[in-house]
């Protein structure tokens, strides 16, 4: 597709970038559809499964773009309108479900999901910067084991 055709469908490069990231996030969460349906999986197992997908080397380019846009959107939120709701709310809703199924209130589950999301993003920043899969993977497992 030509640059002109892209600009016809999207008003700006930023709008196109947000759409790419939104679509990628939707596709990632679709990979986890089975997890949404399973009432028997505790939150720790859900997190391990999520990490295996998002922490995979093939996901690095996407997350490097994600973190670049995240930083730019912090500086100028109007440049990337709608970025933060998709980057935060969609994941909080998804990550809160296993905690709710485990008996937590909706509010408490969202707080726990916030902890999970923040940790995942920290581990992803580390792994994008270092490509140290072994160390970061061990840290993720130790973190999950500490609260399960």
Q: What is the pLDDT of residues 63-83, one digit of tens each?
A: 999 999 999 999 998 888 888
- The torsion of the CA quartet 17, 21, 27, 33, rounded to 10 degrees, works out to -150
Give the other-Cβ count within 10 Å of 78's Cβ. 7
What domains does the chain contain, in order, with CATH numbers? 12-147 (1.10.357.10)
Average confidence (pLDDT) over 21-30: 76
The residue that leads in pLDDT, 140 or 49, is 140
13 or 124: which leads in pLDDT: 124
- Predicted TM-score (pTM) of this structure: 0.82
* Average pLDDT for 88-111: 91
**Greatest mean pLDDT range, 20-24, 86-90, 127-131:** 127-131
Mean pLDDT of the chain: 87
Residue 10, pLDDT > 80, answer no
> 34-62 b/e with 16+ CB inside 10 Å = b?
ebeeeeebebbebbbebbeebbeeebeeb
**Over 90: is that where the pLDDT of 30 sits?**
no
């Amino acid at each position: 597709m030509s640059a002109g055709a892209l600009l016809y469908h999207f008003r700006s490069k930023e709008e196109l970038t947000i759409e790419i990231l939104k679509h990628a996030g939707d596709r990632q969460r679709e990979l986890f559809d089975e997890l949404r349906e399973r009432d028997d999986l505790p939150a720790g197992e859900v997190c391990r499964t999520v990490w295996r997908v998002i922490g995979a080397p093939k996901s690095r380019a996407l997350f490097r773009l994600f973190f670049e846009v995240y930083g730019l959107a912090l500086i100028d939120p109007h440049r990337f309108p709608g970025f933060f709701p998709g980057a935060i709310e969609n994941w909080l809703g998804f990550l809160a479900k296993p905690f709710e199924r485990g008996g937590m209130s909706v509010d408490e589950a969202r707080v726990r999901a916030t902890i999970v999301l923040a940790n995942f993003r920290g581990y992803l920043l580390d792994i994008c910067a270092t490509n140290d899969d072994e160390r970061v993977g061990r840290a993720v497992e130790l973190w999950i084991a500490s609260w399960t």
